[in-house]
C-alpha cells in the first residue's frame, strides 16, 4: 500500500509522525480485528473513542435521509477515524465500515487526551489532520457545484491513484474496490452519469476497469481531464 502526500495534500496520520512518535501512539488503546462489512463506528452514537487503522481499508458514509446514503471518504492503514467525536465535539457524524479485513486500535477519549497533552508535537499533527479534512470537505463542496461529473470523477480517481495506487502491468491499480454506485456517492452524482464518464475515460485509454478494480493507464491524461496541474518529475 502506498502512503505519502498526493496532489491534494493527503497523508495518513501515522506516516506524518516520526518513527518514535508513531510507535508511542500505536501503544494506546486496544487492538481489534474486523471482517468485511463490520461497522467500526455508527453514525449518531455518543461514543468518544478514536479509531486508528493499522491494516485494511474502511469507507466513511453519512445518511442524507431515510433512503439515501452518501459515501464521504475512504481511509486506509495509518489513518485515524472518529477524531472529531473523540475530542468531545458532538455525536458521531458518519458510519465507518470495513471494506475487507481490518486491524484497528480503539483509543478511549481520556487516554487520547492525556497522551496529546503530554506530547505537543503529536498533538499539533493531530490538529493539522483535522484541519486538512475540514479544508478538503470545503473543497469537495465547491467542486460539486462548480465542475461537471467527468471532472469530479477524474479528480477523485487522481486522488485515489496517487494515494492508494499500486504499480501493476504498466498501470497504477487503485487499491480500493469501488462500485459505480459508490463512485457516484463519493462525487455526488447519479450512477448513470458516472457510468458515462467512466466509459469516456476507458475509450481514451486513460483507465481500464473490471471486477471492481480500476487501473490508471495514463495519469497525465487523468490530470488533464481533472483540470489539475500535471505533476513534473
Sketch the domain layout of the chain as residue ranges.
13-139, 147-225
| CATH fold match for the domains 13-139 and 147-225 | no
CATH number of the domain at 13-139, please? 2.60.120.10
CATH class of the domain defined by 147-225: mainly alpha
Q: Which pLDDT belongs to residue 6?
A: 38
Q: Which pLDDT belongs to residue 39?
A: 95
DSSP collapsed to 3 states, the chain: CCCCCCCCCCCCHHHHCCHHHHHHHCCCCEEEEECCCCEEECCCCCCCCEEEEEECEEEEEEECCCCCEEEEEEEECCCEECHHHHCCCCCCCCEEEECCCEEEEEECHHHHHHHHHHCHHHHHHHHHHHHHHHHHHHHHHHHHHHCCHHHHHHHHHHHHHHHHEEEECCEEEECCCCCHHHHHHHHCCCHHHHHHHHHHHHHCCCEEEECCEEEECCHHHHHHHCCCCCCCC
List the chain pLDDT tens, one digit each, 233 residues. 333 333 344 678 998 999 999 999 999 999 999 998 899 999 999 888 999 999 988 888 888 777 777 778 888 889 999 998 888 777 898 899 998 889 999 999 999 999 999 999 999 999 998 888 888 777 767 766 688 999 989 988 998 888 778 888 789 988 777 788 888 877 878 899 999 999 999 999 999 987 778 899 999 999 999 988 876 65
Amino acid at each position: 500500500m502506498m502512503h505519502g502526500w498526493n496532489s491534494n495534500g493527503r497523508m495518513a496520520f501515522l506516516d506524518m509522525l516520526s518513527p518514535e512518535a508513531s510507535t508511542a501512539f500505536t501503544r494506546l488503546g486496544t487492538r481489534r480485528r474486523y471482517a468485511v462489512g463490520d461497522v467500526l463506528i455508527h453514525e449518531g452514537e455518543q461514543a468518544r473513542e478514536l479509531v486508528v487503522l493499522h491494516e485494511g481499508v474502511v469507507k466513511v458514509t453519512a445518511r442524507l435521509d431515510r433512503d439515501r446514503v452518501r459515501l464521504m471518504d475512504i481511509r486506509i492503514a495509518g489513518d485515524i477515524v472518529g477524531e472529531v467525536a473523540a475530542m468531545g465535539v458532538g455525536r458521531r457524524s458518519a458510519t465507518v465500515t470495513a471494506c475487507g479485513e481490518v486491524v484497528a486500535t480503539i483509543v478511549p477519549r481520556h487516554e487520547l487526551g492525556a497522551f496529546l497533552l503530554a506530547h505537543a508535537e503529536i498533538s499539533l499533527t493531530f490538529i493539522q489532520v483535522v484541519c486538512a479534512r475540514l479544508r478538503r470537505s470545503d473543497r469537495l463542496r465547491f467542486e460539486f457545484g462548480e465542475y461537471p461529473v467527468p471532472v469530479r470523477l477524474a479528480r477523485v480517481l487522481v486522488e485515489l491513484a496517487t494515494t492508494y495506487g499500486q504499480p501493476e502491468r504498466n498501470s497504477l491499480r487503485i487499491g480500493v474496490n469501488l462500485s459505480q454506485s459508490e463512485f457516484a456517492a463519493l462525487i455526488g452524482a447519479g450512477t448513470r452519469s458516472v457510468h458515462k464518464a467512466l466509459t469516456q475515460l476507458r475509450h481514451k485509454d486513460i483507465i481500464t476497469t473490471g471486477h471492481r478494480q480500476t487501473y490508471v493507464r495514463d495519469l497525465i491524461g487523468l490530470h488533464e481531464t481533472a483540470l489539475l496541474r500535471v505533476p513534473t518529475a
